[in-house]
């Protein structure tokens, strides 16, 4: 089968090995004569899949299952925007506003209590990460979005928040690089960028944080205690997506873990950014500060909107390069080059960019 050069921001490209493993499990899992989708989530066979996936999630992060709990929940990262303040916001919380998703998180927190927006880059359409932020030492928690898919920015360095619990939405760059995950009290991520298909969200909670800071005021399904107490199986979990997440974790391990993944991702991003920077009279990157540039979502403009539309159309028609159109809110072009995006696709894109520039400059 010929694979597209898929630059979708999400649902995004998955490793071919994972797709092949999943296709087999969808027909017959483990020789049981039934699909992974047909099994009881409480069977010993599926429980083993679920628990192993939880353990591998922490193993890749270098975290202990004694200190952290992994939940696989529905509702997307968007539901976490509300669950987090419901469970932990009693006085006030600090939020950094660096894009569309952090804005949505702030909106939900404001339904619950006092939300301090301690920094924003909205003044220039979110094309940079704010610096020298003054986080409040008495905040219930500090929240930020590690990578911004729409605007092509990311936090190179983690925020310094002192003893305040740090919470991060890592939906679009989780497992893309080595970081000190132990600095976080809670991490959440929709799976559909770097971990698996749409339909499951992973939440990693530091047990001490939950035990000492949870308000206990959240309704049943929005209360983390409900899911922690039942091993993330209070209700039927999204069984197939969790299986695929587990296979993706194994794939990351086979690549050499996060150190190897980071090296591959940085090399792919450099290919694209270096070409854009060398041809600024035709391709203009939207993020000026190189330290703020995402290695997952590369965004740029051409001289006119008409040329951008032509670029996207010809890339698809000539080389089956899909999903290069920028987000509808900002336009331009965007290439999402998550973990599973092969280097060959990025090389093909750069080659086409050169070809297109020569034909249209």
Write out pLDDT tens, residues 220-263: 999 999 999 999 999 999 999 999 999 999 999 999 999 999 99
Mean pLDDT, range 51-67, rounded to an integer = 98
Task: Examine the residue annotation and report whether 47 is marked as an active-site residue of this protein.
Answer: no
Percent of the chain scoring above 70 in pLDDT? 100
Task: Examine the residue annotation and report whether 193 is marked as an active-site residue of this protein.
Answer: yes
Rounded CA gap, 248 and 155, in Å?
Answer: 24
Contact 327, 189 (CB under 8 A): no
Give the burial string for 262-300 (b: 16+ CB within 10 Å, else e).
bebbeebbebbbebbeeeeebbbbbbeeeebbbbbbbbb
Of 56, 193, 251, 300, catalytic: 193
Closest CA to 191 of 231, 256, 258, 242: 242
Q: Is residue 120 over pLDDT 90?
A: yes
pLDDT confidence tier of residue 126, bands split at 50, 70 and 90: very high
Q: pTM value?
A: 0.97
pLDDT confidence tier of residue 203, bands split at 50, 70 and 90: very high
Q: For residue 11, is the peptide bond before it cis, meaning its omega torsion is within 30 degrees of 0?
A: yes
**Domain extents in the chain:** 16-255, 257-360
Give the burial string for 321-332 (b: 16+ CB within 10 Å, else e).
bebbbbbeebeb
Q: Which residues contact 324 (CB under 8 A, 6 or more apart)?
A: 7, 311, 312, 315, 316, 333, 334, 335, 349
We find that the CATH architecture of domain 257-360 is Alpha-Beta Complex (3.90)
pLDDT confidence tier of residue 1, bands split at 50, 70 and 90: low
Of 56, 94, 101, 135, catalytic: 101
Of 94, 140, 169, 173, catalytic: 169
pLDDT (tens digit, 9 = 90+) per residue, 149-191? 999 999 999 999 999 999 999 999 999 999 999 999 999 999 9
Task: Examine the residue annotation and report whether 213 is marked as an active-site residue of this protein.
Answer: no
Does CATH number 3.40.640.10 belong to domain 16-255? yes
Rounded CA gap, 169 and 203, in Å?
Answer: 10
């Amino acid at each position: 089968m010929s694979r597209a050069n898929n630059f979708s921001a999400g649902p995004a490209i998955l490793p071919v090995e994972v797709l092949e493993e999943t296709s087999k499990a969808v027909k017959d899992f483990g020789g049981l004569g039934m699909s992974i989708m047909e099994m009881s989530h409480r069977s010993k066979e599926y429980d083993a899949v679920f628990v192993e996936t939880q353990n591998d999630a922490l193993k890749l992060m270098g975290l202990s299952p004694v200190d952290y709990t992994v939940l696989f929940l529905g509702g997307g990262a968007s539901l976490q925007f509300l669950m987090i303040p419901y469970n932990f916001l009693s006085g006030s919380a600090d939020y950094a506003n660096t894009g569309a998703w952090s804005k949505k998180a702030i909106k939900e927190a404001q339904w619950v209590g006092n939300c301090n927006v301690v920094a924003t880059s909205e003044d220039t359409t979110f094309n940079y990460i704010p610096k020298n932020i003054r986080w409040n030492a008495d905040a219930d928690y500090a929240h930020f979005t590690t990578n911004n898919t729409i605007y092509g920015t990311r936090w190179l360095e983690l925020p310094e928040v002192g003893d305040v619990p740090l919470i991060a939405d890592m939906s679009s760059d989780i497992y893309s690089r080595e970081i000190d995950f132990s600095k976080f009290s809670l991490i959440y991520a929709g799976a559909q960028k770097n971990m698996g298909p749409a339909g499951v969200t992973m939440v990693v909670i530091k047990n001490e944080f939950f035990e000492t800071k949870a308000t206990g005021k959240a309704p049943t399904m929005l209360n983390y205690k409900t899911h922690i107490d039942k091993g993330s199986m209070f209700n039927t979990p999204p069984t197939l997506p969790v299986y695929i997440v587990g296979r993706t974790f194994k794939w990351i391990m086979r690549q050499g873990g996060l150190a190897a993944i980071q090296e591959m991702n940085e090399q792919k991003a450099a290919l694209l950014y270096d070409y854009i920077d060398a041809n600024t009279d035709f391709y203009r990157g939207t993020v000026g500060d190189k330290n703020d540039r995402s290695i997952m979502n590369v965004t740029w403009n051409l001289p006119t909107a008409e040329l951008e539309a032509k670029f996207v159309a010809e890339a698809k028609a000539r080389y089956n390069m899909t999903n290069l159109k920028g987000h509808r809110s900002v336009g331009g072009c965007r290439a999402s080059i998550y973990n599973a995006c092969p280097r060959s696709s990025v090389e093909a894109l750069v080659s086409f960019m050169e070809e297109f520039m020569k034909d249209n400059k």
